[in-house]
Structure 1
């Protein structure tokens, strides 16, 4: 497995994610809640090392 290039640019609550191939996805983070355009998942940071995630694709089942 080789090295991977990843870069994040933050503009307030908006986060742009880049890889070696260019732009990859964007995210919105407000407080403990965040949403990612690629995973289309909501995530909530919980106390300690825990977090809760809900995938949009799995919630339709």
Structure 2
């Protein structure tokens, strides 16, 4: 298992995700709700270590 480079740049509610190859994806997070452009999935943070995720529709 190798080491992976990841970097996140936060601009208000928008988060830009970068890898060693450059730009990877963007996300938007408002309160406990978030959406990622690459996974195209909604996620809601629940209390504790839990989260709910709705996969993209096919």
Superposed CA RMSD in Å reads 0.8
**Corresponding residue number in structure 1 for 2:52:** 52
Query: In structure 2, what is the Cα distance between the partners aligned to 1:39 and 1:32?
Result: 17
Give the TM-score taking structure 1 as reference length. Answer: 0.91
Query: In structure 1, what is the Cα distance between the partners aligned to 2:31 and 2:13?
Result: 9
Q: Where in structure 1 do 4 or more consecutive aligned residues deviate above 3 Å?
A: none
Query: In structure 1, what is the Cα distance between the partners aligned to 2:3 and 2:31?
Result: 31
**Corresponding residue number in structure 1 for 2:24:** 24
Give the TM-score taking structure 2 as reference length. Answer: 0.95
Higher share of residues assigned helix: 1
Structure 1: gaps (5+ residues):
none
Structure 2: gaps (5+ residues):
none
Q: How many residues align?
A: 58
